[in-house]
Amino acid sequence: MRIIYCGDIVARPGREVVLENLSRLRNDYKADVVMLNVENAAHGFGVTQGICRDFLEKGADILVTGNHFLNQKEIISFLNECKVIVRPANIPNTNPGRGFAVYELPDGRKILVIQVLGRLFMEAVDCPVQAVEDILRNYTLGKNISAIFVDIHAEASSEKLSLGYYLDGRVSCVAGTHTHVPTADARVLPKGTAYITDVGMCGNYDSILGFEPTAPIQRLCRNYLGDRLIPAAGKGTIYAILVETDDATGLAKSIEQIKI
């Protein structure tokens, strides 16, 4: 299975560059599944139902969120309605939506997608390891599921790496998101799980994490929040990964970083 995952889509530049290139990503890379992190797609914070529908209509198969998944209140009903949008699994079950999704390809192969939030330097959440374990009780890679993809939306690289090695050999890929900075450590771990600490963002890189520099610089210099963050305008860049798995085992054969 060939899986493409686009990192955090930030505001209009991110939306536009992804929408313009979805067909290209699928065709040029012969992707079986195209997944997007839509965590910051609506003006930098959260996502709307309309934006989700635009991505799905243009060819995205699975949408993944993150810690801002409820910032746009209109998304609440869609989280319950849409079976291919994934919110964090390690939060109370009273929240709308699902912490994992199973997507079936036309040929019958299935991919399980899970997302968890990190706990270091983040708001308090339940244990990410336990959340993944609870889901994996029902799925065994290479037996009743063709591929398993885990997104860890977290600040700390050590936490992402720890989860990658913990799940090595049991899932197809562990990919980090949230920090918006692509890392150079894409690799297949010793037991066959593809890994990267952060996929990066889809947005305007002439910015600070997709936002105009003024407010973040004020926060740095004054040590308090200051002005609100404003998404940067301008041309967007896609950062994504391509993971190829072995259909017999579900383990990763390769992982490649994509930049458009």
Task: Give the active site residue among 43, 68, 153, 180.
Answer: 68
Cα distances from 57 to residues 25, 52, 54, 137, in angstroms, run 15, 9, 5, 33
Mean pLDDT, residues 203-213 taken together: 95
Report yes or no on whether pTM surpasses 0.85: yes
Token pair recorded at residue 174: 């562990």
Residue pair 174/160 in contact by the 8 Å Cβ criterion:
yes
Residue 225: is its pLDDT beyond 90? no
Place 223 in a pLDDT band, splitting at 50, 70 and 90: confident
> Other C-beta atoms within 10 Å of 42: how many?
25
Cα distances from 186 to residues 110, 127, 174, in angstroms, run 24, 25, 10
68 in active site:
yes
The pLDDT of residue 198: 98
From the number of C-beta atoms within 10 Å of its C-beta (0-12, 13-18, 19+), residue 30 rates as exposed
Token pair recorded at residue 195: 């890994």
The full set of domain ranges for the chain reads 2-259
Q: Is the dihedral of CA 26, 29, 30, 34 positive or negative?
A: negative
3-state secondary structure of 86: strand
Q: What is the pLDDT of residues 141-181, one digit of tens each?
A: 999 999 999 999 999 999 999 999 999 999 999 999 999 99
Residue pair 243/194 in contact by the 8 Å Cβ criterion:
yes
Q: Using CA atoms, how far apart are residues 14 and 18, in angstroms rounded to an integer?
A: 6
Pairing of strands 187-188, 194-196: antiparallel
Residue 29: is its pLDDT beyond 80? yes
DSSP 8-state class, residue 47: -
Mean pLDDT, residues 184-200 taken together: 98
Q: Which residues touch 59 (CB under 8 Å, ≥6 apart)?
A: 22, 23, 26, 34
Q: What is the pLDDT of residues 60-114, one digit of tens each?
A: 999 999 999 999 998 999 999 999 999 999 999 999 999 999 999 999 999 999 9
Kindly state which CATH superfamily the domain 2-259 is placed in: Metallo-dependent phosphatases (3.60.21.10)
Nearest Cα to Cα of residue 35 among 63, 7, 12 = 63
Cα distances from 256 to residues 123, 157, 173, 194, in angstroms, run 31, 19, 12, 10
Cα distances from 109 to residues 32, 82, 103, 145, 163, in angstroms, run 10, 20, 8, 7, 25
